[in-house]
Amino acid sequence: MQTVWAPWRMEYILSEKEEECIFCLALSEQGNLTLYKGSLSMVMMNKYPYINGHLLIAPKRHISSLDEMTMEEMADLLKTIKDSIGILRKVMKPDGFNVGLNLGVVAGAGVEEHLHFHIVPRWHGDTNAMTVFAEVRVIPEHLEATYSNLKPYFEGLG
């Protein structure tokens, strides 16, 4: 049997669970996994990623559907997605990306009340049987290290 270490999970297991919106909290706090706070959109790292570099891009306004967005918010959000992909491409050099939006709990939205897109970098050979057979994800780099690598590039956005 192999052991997969994920030491940052203990903090989550022992912590009180947030009842507030994670995106609204990220906008108001310092020292979290927020990489970018623009005038209309934000970028934060997924605290429980599918793979290193898994980002969440959301409008700053607390809305749950595309219908609620202004054209300015949509344009800014798409530009932020494009810029985030460019930064991930430069820093992490993935071979491709999954970019998606889950609308509603039945569609997989973990935070249904605040619209957000996922950007998941992908590399040739990054899929493995761990998730399928053992319900385990292997994340090769600590979240704080990924954050430190990405943060300087997001400071130049805006």
Q: Where do the structural domains in the chain lie, given as residue ranges? A: 20-154
d(CA 6, CA 61) in angstroms, rounded, equals 33
Find all residues with CB under 8 Å of 73, minimum gap 6, and list them: 40, 41, 59, 61
Identify the pLDDT of residue 132: 46
Structure confidence by residue, pLDDT tens digits, 61-107 = 999 999 999 999 999 999 999 999 999 999 999 999 999 998 877 77
* CATH assignment of 20-154, among 3.30.428.10, 3.40.50.261, 1.20.140.10, 1.10.8.100: 3.30.428.10
pTM exceeds 0.85 = no
Q: Which residues are catalytic?
A: 116
